[in-house]
Amino acid sequence: MGTPLRRHEKIVLLLVAIGFITLASYSCQKTEPVSTNANLTAAASPTPQSFPPWPKGFPQAMPSPVISGNIPRQVVITGNPATPQDARPFFDNFSWESFIALNWPASSQRGVPEDPNTPNVFFTAPNGAAVVWGTYKDSFDLFGQQDKRPSAWNDSSSPISPCPGTTPGQKTLIFTTKGETATSA
């Protein structure tokens, strides 16, 4: 028989379900067709004015969307939502702004976005460009150093590497198991 879900697995499952419900309830709204010239202008220089209107059901006092590499620090709730469901779109907006900021093209420093106040940097980033969250240190860089201190934040080398022989700064996929080492068949 299957094992019961642990508490953190139930929370992750709940968050995934909430995400699907949010997408299902807000993504099926019809929008007015936009002329071809407006589409070309929006693609050339994205601005907050080029975004479609908020879907039906969103509060009238919703703030304008922000395309920025700066991670938002708080949820901005305008008006006076009567229920938690009325406040949810403000949290959805905060989540999307955080997602965009973490997926912003990274500068040469770890965790720092490239020109975070210019939306075109985000919209014109080449495929495969390093993103902010991808420049954060891996867990082994911070915790797997035995009795040695972790290296400085911008240093790409680690005192102890889980995969000897890799180049400093190279992304490494680490396979960890409990018990026996997995063998390939």
Q: What pLDDT score does 3 carry?
A: 53
Q: How remote is the C-alpha of 65 from its chain's centroid?
A: 16
Which residues 6+ apart lie within 8 Å of 97 measured at CB?
65, 66, 68, 72
Q: How far apart are the first and last CA of the chain?
A: 26
Q: What pLDDT score does 172 carry?
A: 73
Q: Give the span between the Cα atoms of 96 and 90, in whole angstroms.
A: 10
Q: Which of 89, 84, 88 is closest to 55 using CA atoms?
A: 89
Q: Give the span between the Cα atoms of 31 and 77, in whole angstroms.
A: 25
Global pTM value? 0.61
3-state DSSP assignment of residue 89: helix
Q: What pLDDT score does 47 carry?
A: 45
Query: Angle CA(129)–CA(102)–CA(99) in degrees, nearest 5?
Result: 115
Q: Which of 27, 35, 34 is closest to 54 using CA atoms?
A: 27
Query: Angle CA(143)–CA(73)–CA(124) in degrees, nearest 5?
Result: 85
- pLDDT tens, the chain, 185 aa long: 445 556 567 676 666 656 555 544 443 333 343 333 333 333 444 444 467 777 787 777 788 888 999 999 999 888 888 888 888 889 999 999 999 999 999 998 889 999 999 999 999 999 989 999 998 888 878 887 778 888 888 887 777 777 777 776 677 777 777 777 656 54
Are 120 and 45 contacting, i.e. CB atoms less than 8 angstroms apart?
Answer: yes
Are 141 and 150 contacting, i.e. CB atoms less than 8 angstroms apart?
Answer: yes
Q: How do the domains of the chain map onto residue ranges?
A: 54-136, 137-177
Q: How remote is the C-alpha of 183 from its chain's centroid?
A: 34
Q: What pLDDT score does 147 carry?
A: 83
